[in-house]
Amino acid sequence: MPKLNGATHVNLTVRDLARSSDWYCRALGFTLVREAEPEESGFRFHTLLHESSLASIVLGAARNPATEPFDEHRVGLHHLGYHVPARADLDEWAGHLDGAGVAHSGVKELFLEAGYGIWLRDPDNIWLEFYWVNAEFFMNQMRQRWRATKRTKVAEARKARQWTE
């Protein structure tokens, strides 16, 4: 399988480029590092970079934008998640978001994963998540799947041999 080295960027369409760039910088600690307006694209872009992870968000505003806000019920993006290294980092994020005046869920136990997360929305209603997962839980799940697959393959090979003998 080819390797991946984490997510490098996500490109989000926003209604107000200045407002969204300010929000991502203030609320999430990104820094504006590039502005571009390729004529053929029909968009103005701001590239934002997060100093501690090098994750980037490219925000784009269309020259002729739609007026309705983001809705995760339409086909496309559901939400954007950022993993934090330790459970305690979520508490730091909650404090930072409070200090920046950003509404959020507080730290909650995740129902789909073995871990915890914080949910919030950006100015265009795009759903964002900071999350920490219990890596040991998932590694054990992967080991169990791998062992079960291996057992199945061994059993199939034995069965195939019985037919040829």
Q: Residues 64-77: what's their mean pLDDT?
A: 82
CA angle (155 as vertex; 154, 161 as ends), nearest 5: 90
Asked if residue 13 belongs to a domain, the reply is: yes
Question: Helix or strand or coil: residue 110?
Answer: coil
pTM equals 0.74
Asked if residue 2 belongs to a domain, the reply is: yes
Check if the beta carbon of residue 138 is closer than 8 Å to that of residue 34: no
| Per-residue confidence (pLDDT) for residue 113, from 0 to 100 | 65
Check if the beta carbon of residue 114 is closer than 8 Å to that of residue 133: yes
CATH code assigned at 27: 3.10.180.10
Check if the beta carbon of residue 18 is closer than 8 Å to that of residue 31: no
CA angle (49 as vertex; 46, 50 as ends), nearest 5: 145
Provide the residue type at 123 as one letter: P
| Per-residue confidence (pLDDT) for residue 7, from 0 to 100 | 59
Q: Residues 92-115: what's their mean pLDDT?
A: 90
Q: Residues 41-54: what's their mean pLDDT?
A: 89
Q: Tell the residue number behind the tokens 């914080």, with chain if given.
A: 118
Question: Helix or strand or coil: residue 100?
Answer: coil
Which contiguous run of DSSP H or E holds residue 112? none
| Per-residue confidence (pLDDT) for residue 160, from 0 to 100 | 75
Asked if residue 110 belongs to a domain, the reply is: no
Asked if residue 155 belongs to a domain, the reply is: no
Asked if residue 23 belongs to a domain, the reply is: yes
Domain that holds residue 54: 1-64
pLDDT of 137-148, one tens digit each? 778 878 888 888
Gap between the Cα atoms of 27 and 4, Å rounded: 28
Q: Which of 7-11, 24-28, 53-57 has the lowest mean pLDDT?
A: 7-11
Asked if residue 24 belongs to a domain, the reply is: yes
| Per-residue confidence (pLDDT) for residue 156, from 0 to 100 | 80
Q: How many domains does the chain have?
A: 1
Count of Cβ atoms closer than 10 Å to residue 104 Cβ: 20
